[in-house]
Amino acid sequence: MATIDKTSIREEVDRLKQEFEQLCSAGKVSSEIQAIMRSMLLIVELILAVFLEKATRKNSKNSSLPPSQTPKDETAKSNPKSKGKGKKVGGEISNTRIKETVTISKVETCDVCGTPLDQTSCQGLERRTKIDIVFEKIVEHIDAEIKECPNCHATAKGGFPEDMPGNLQYGNGLKAFAIHLVISQMVALNRVQKQISAMIGAVISEATLLKFVWRLYQSLEEWEANSIESILQAPSIHVDETSFRVEGKNYWIHVYSSGGTTLKLLHRKRGKDAIVDMNIIPRYGGVIIHDCWASYLSYDHCGHGLCGSHLLRELVFIIDAHQYRWAGNMKKLLLETCRIVAKREEKCLTKKEYANLQKRYRNILTRGDKELPEIPPKPKGKRGKMAKSDAHNLWERFKKYETAILLFAKKSYVPFTNNRAERDLRMAKVKQKISGCFRRQKYAQAYCRISSYLQTMANQGVNPLVAIQMALANKVSEAN
């Protein structure tokens, strides 16, 4: 039931009665109309009295109901001392209400000897809790009065709220629930229709559900721009990319992550063309963490940190395939250094320790050079590069990118792995596995922006349903 200001309704009825009596006193209303209008006003007052009584909840303060049967005030704020996971978000945006009751289970007699315990004081309480949900459909009607001015005969009509521009609207709570199912839970549109129909008794078309998604995508345009600026100011960022099927073609999702911010952007290409179009790395001056993709390495104005997890996996392959001692020693060195750095409060080595690390690192590569078979000279007249084994390629990578591989031990803000970017992309692969592909590019872009926003809000501890409603209400800045 919609919330109604009872005082304003009563005042409006009283005002209408006074105006009617003034017109009657001035002799502008005939006796027949006076009799009809007085009867109608009497009926209105009777209906209003009955309605207000039924709409008013009874509690221990206005009736004989005991406090134990009085529901908790739904407008009351939650206990600030209560413990909960996540960040507290200011502002009443969610349409969730909590009804909480406490019932005392009394002890009458002793279970062992049967002694009455009515007069015995209670030493403590043991609580058991049951949580349930009740679905409630809220329908709010706004009736605008239409009047004709007796002076100029112009038609005047009452106004409507800004969020009700048409004859029928859906509230942000319903929109947030639908978007959450489509984007976060990756539920098919047809199943979302059935779920909402079971809750509100009405079917929402797929086109309308997609309009919800597109409306949220548009409302997050400013948030995305602010997130890009935030990433550009970070000392280090995680970058990665993964394929994504859109309109039967192969697109790529590029992710940029730092701190609590996750940003995913869609592009037709994977390499440098996409990086230039997105214009994040070309403007970035910190350290980018990646998996040694050549397109990233082509930018030498910023620092580079290579993912240790990728290197360890490749070392394991070399050990299993060739049993090279240099690969085993390098794996041992990286893991040992990673554990040392992780336990340090400053998250880095001292200058002396780092110099010793470099010495051990280079000694391992020197011994590895002797352990690896020699590469035959390139035949005369043959074009292109000589084919090399994976062990040779990996050894050369360790040799060439020593600074980038060991940067995690030197800079406290550089992590050992790029797992953050891979985790941020993981759900996109799940989405593709479920959906197959996106039929239109615009909704694939919407998915990237909305999922980026929801992941960022989740990093801040904000409930996804609340986060969506905040965005729809243009109150995203309140969560920052």
Rounded to whole angstroms, the Cα distance separating 312 from 332 reads 9
Rounded to whole angstroms, the Cα distance separating 428 from 447 reads 9
Domain residue limits at 357: 308-374+389-417
Instruction: Give me the amino acid identity at 260.
Output: G
Q: Which residues contact 297 (CB under 8 A, 6 or more apart)?
A: 304
Task: Please provide the size of the chain in residues.
Answer: 480
Question: What is the three-class DSSP state of 377?
Answer: coil
170 within some domain: no
Max Cα-Cα span within the chain: 119
Rounded to whole angstroms, the Cα distance separating 244 from 248 reads 10
343 within some domain: yes
How many other C-beta atoms can be found within 10 angstroms of the C-beta atom of residue 45? 14
224 within some domain: no
Q: Are 341 and 416 in contact (CB under 8 A)?
A: yes
470 within some domain: no
H or E stretch covering 146: strand 146-148
Residue of 332, 303, 326, 296 lying closest to 410 (CA atoms): 303
Rounded to whole angstroms, the Cα distance separating 315 from 323 reads 10
366 within some domain: yes
User: What's the number of domains the chain is made of?
Assistant: 1
260 within some domain: no
Rounded to whole angstroms, the Cα distance separating 262 from 449 reads 10
DSSP assigned state of 67: G
Q: What are the residues facing 305 on neighbouring strands?
A: 289
Phi/psi of residue 249, each to 5°? -120, 165
CA distances for 464 relative to 68, 113, 194, 227, 447, angstroms: 34, 54, 21, 18, 14
pLDDT score recorded for residue 432 = 86
pLDDT score recorded for residue 92 = 47
20 within some domain: no
Per-residue model confidence as pLDDT tens for the chain (480 residues)? 445 555 566 677 778 778 878 888 888 878 888 788 877 777 776 666 555 545 556 554 444 444 434 444 433 333 434 344 445 554 445 567 778 888 888 888 888 888 888 888 888 888 888 887 777 788 888 888 888 888 888 888 888 888 788 888 888 889 999 999 999 999 999 999 999 999 888 899 999 999 999 999 999 999 999 999 999 999 999 999 999 999 989 999 999 999 999 999 999 999 999 999 999 999 999 999 999 999 999 999 999 999 999 999 999 998 888 888 999 999 999 999 999 999 999 999 999 999 999 999 999 999 999 888 877 777 777 777 777 788 889 999 999 999 999 999 999 999 999 999 999 999 998 888 887 788 899 999 999 999 999 999 999 899 999 999 999 988 886 444
Q: Give burial (CB, 10 Å; 0-12/13-18/19+) of 263.
A: buried
Residue of 231, 252, 228 lying closest to 240 (CA atoms): 252
383 within some domain: no
Q: Are 452 and 183 in contact (CB under 8 A)?
A: no
Buried b (16+ CB within 10 A) or exposed e, 188-225: ebeebbeebeeebeeebeeeebbebbeebbebbeebbe
